[in-house]
Amino acid sequence: MNIGEIARRAGVSRSTVSYALSGKRVVSEETRQRIQAVIDELDYRPNAAARALKEGRTRTLGLVIPPASLRLTDMQLGFVASVVEAAARVDLDVLLSPSGGDHDRSFERIVSGRRVDGVILMEIRLEDERVTRLQQTGLPFVTIGHTAHPQGTCWVDVDYATLIARCVHHLADLGHRHIALINRSAELVAAGYGPAQRALTGFTEAVAQRGLTGVDMCCADDAPGGESCLEQLREQHPEVTAIATINEAALPGIQRALERAGVAVPRDMSIAGVAARHWAEDFRPPLTAADVPTEMGNHAVDLLLERIATPDAPPRHLLLTPPISLRSTTGPAPTR
Taking the C-alpha atoms of residue 155 and residue 76, their distance in angstroms, rounded to an integer, is: 16
pLDDT at residue number 101: 63
User: CA 333, CA 313: separation in Å to the nearest integer?
Assistant: 51
End-to-end CA separation in angstroms for the chain? 56
C-alpha to C-alpha distances, 60 to 13, 53, 91, 119, 125, nearest whole angstrom: 21, 10, 9, 9, 25
**Is residue 266 reached through a cis peptide bond, with omega within 30 degrees of 0 on the bond before it?**
yes
Task: List the pLDDT tens digit at each of the 336 positions of the chain.
Answer: 567 778 888 888 888 887 777 666 778 888 888 888 887 777 665 555 455 444 557 889 999 987 644 667 777 888 899 999 999 988 899 999 888 666 678 888 888 877 899 999 998 999 999 999 999 999 999 999 999 999 999 999 999 999 999 999 999 999 999 999 999 999 999 999 999 999 999 999 999 999 999 999 999 999 999 999 999 999 999 999 999 999 999 999 999 999 999 999 999 999 999 999 999 999 999 999 999 988 889 999 999 999 998 988 999 999 999 999 999 999 999 986
Give residue 55's pLDDT.
55
Dist. CA 198–CA 96, nearest whole Å: 27
Other beta carbons within 10 angstroms of residue 154's beta carbon come to 24
What CA–CA distance (Å, rounded) separates 184 from 195? Answer: 9
**What is the C-alpha separation between 258 and 27, in angstroms, rounded?**
60
**Beta carbons of 304 and 61 less than 8 angstroms apart:** yes
Q: How far apart are CA 42 and CA 4, in angstroms?
A: 13
Q: Give how far Cα 106 sits from Cα of 56, 94, 126, 304, 312, Å.
A: 24, 15, 22, 21, 28
